[in-house]
Amino acid sequence: VARIVNLEIRHVRLDLKKKIKHASHERQASDNVVVVVTLDDGTRGYGEGVPRSYVTGETVESAIADLQSWPLFDIIGEAGNLADVVRSLEAWVPAPKVGDFRGIGSNSARCAAEIAILDAFSRHFGVPVGEAFRFSEVAAELPIETPQPVRYSGAITAETPWKEKISATKMRIWGFRQVKVKVGIDGADEVARLKRIRRRLGSKCDMRLDANEAWSPDQFRTWAERLAFSFPSAFEQPVPHEAIAELGKPEFHQPFPVILDESLCGPVDAENAIRGSFGEIFNVRLSKCGGFLPSLKLVAMAIRSGRRYGLGCHPGESPILSAAGRAVASRLRNLAFLEGSYDRHVLAEPFATSDITFGYGGKAKPLSGPGLGIEIDMKKLEAVTVSRLDLSRE
């Protein structure tokens, strides 16, 4: 039997190796929230959330305020096994905020808390954190199997033509099977970009295009036609969330599957997509969707409605979310795509003691060992901490 005795809530700022640019944002550092949970036997667990105002409406400040306001010591109480912990976490749904009709305004905070709690308790019980998944309410509906190696996607952002050519050539040489290309940047000649990128990726590489809400439905239809020559496998979030339901109207036609990203943060979003017949693929990201257990429920909703699902990430995630994503990806089959574990490529100084960045062709192995399967370098974590709150059980 174990219980939580201490909680640290940290605002961390992770320097990025280069600027990350897409249609809705640009950044040189990533502001994340890290939760450190300590159990009464001294076991520590780590969780992370990436609050993004243009995704869930959260900020670092709102996420920290949420974490402070929740009765996290009592949510679990005393746990005798991992199934108990999962049951307690599933019963815990943070109350929606005023005006938050999608029920997503605390998702990254919930993710940070949930992953820290599951990491701590699975370490305590001596099992990998992924063992928790089979206790989920929806486990029977999901293709969860023993951990297997995975393949991550590469990503090409808008760059100078020369750099885009180099990126695409590298993806091909390194043997990536899937690549995501960011489109919709103002003033970019997408036809020329996609010509040079597709030529270098080769015809076999699965290429999807992420517009990050850049287009109107009409513009999307036009771009879908103009870019069809590069045979993209799907378009991700082509239009703003406010316009996404347009894509389900019978009069709206375009031939490509649409991946919902900004429009898929919680069960209300998933229900709307199903009812409105739009979005063939769900992009599930742990932070924006509220953690492991809410994410698995979204996957179950995708399966029930005949949709596909992929696992995405936030650029700027630390090794904590990389490891958490690996726990899902290595066990959950039939992912339409997989993103994450960019650590060494994106972060100036990842704070795990081992490097879990994917290798050639995006290949990576399942992480073994208890909990998330990584160790945190506390000195490095301290160095990137902007502020820290300590809460103890009374």
> C-beta of 48: minimal distance to Mg ion in Å?
19
Minimum CB–partner distance for residue 57 and Mg ion (Å):
16
Contacts (CB under 5 A) with Mg ion, residues 293-312 = none
Which residue sits closest to Mg ion, CB atoms considered? 261
Smaller CB distance to Mg ion: residue 45 or 279?
Answer: 279
x/- string (CB under 5 A) for Mg ion, residues 246-285?
A: ---------------x------------------------
Residue 48 contacts Mg ion per CB under 5 A = no
| Cβ proximity to Mg ion, 122 vs 295, nearer residue | 295
Binding region for Mg ion (CB under 5 A) out of 44-52, 61-69, 236-244, 368-376? 236-244
Total of chain residues touching Mg ion, rule CB under 5 A: 3
Q: Find the part of the chain contacting Mg ion (CB under 5 A) among 128-136, 203-211, 247-255, 358-366.
A: 203-211
Smallest gap, in angstroms, from Cβ of residue 239 to Mg ion?
13
Decide whether 8 or 262 has the Cβ nearer to Mg ion: 262
Q: Which is nearer to Mg ion, 168 or 281 (CB)?
A: 281
Q: Out of 58, 210, 213, 343, point to the residue binding Mg ion (CB under 5 A).
A: 210
| Least separation in angstroms between CB 153 and Mg ion | 11
119 vs 261 by CB, closer to Mg ion: 261
Select 190 or 261, whichever has its Cβ closest to Mg ion. Answer: 261
Pick from 79, 72, 34: which is nearest to 391 by CA?
72
CA distance 355 to 341: 10
Closest distance of CB 22 from Mg ion, Å: 8
Binding letters toward Mg ion, positions 161-200, x by CB under 5 A: ----------------------------------------
Q: Which is nearer to Mg ion, 164 or 236 (CB)?
A: 236
Q: Which of residues 68-97 bind Mg ion (CB under 5 A)?
A: none
Q: Which span sits near Mg ion by CB under 5 A: 71-79, 124-132, 149-157, 210-218?
A: 210-218
Nearest approach in angstroms of CB 144 to Mg ion is 25
Q: Which is nearer to Mg ion, 45 or 315 (CB)?
A: 315
Instruction: Indicate the residue among 190 and 210 with the shorter CB distance to Mg ion.
Output: 210
Are 210 and 236 spatial neighbours (Cβ–Cβ below 8 Å)?
yes
Do 211 and 235 touch, CB atoms closer than 8 A? Answer: yes
> What does the alpha-carbon distance between residue 256 and residue 283 come to, in Å, rounded to a whole number?
16
Residues forming the site for Mg ion (CB under 5 A):
210, 236, 261
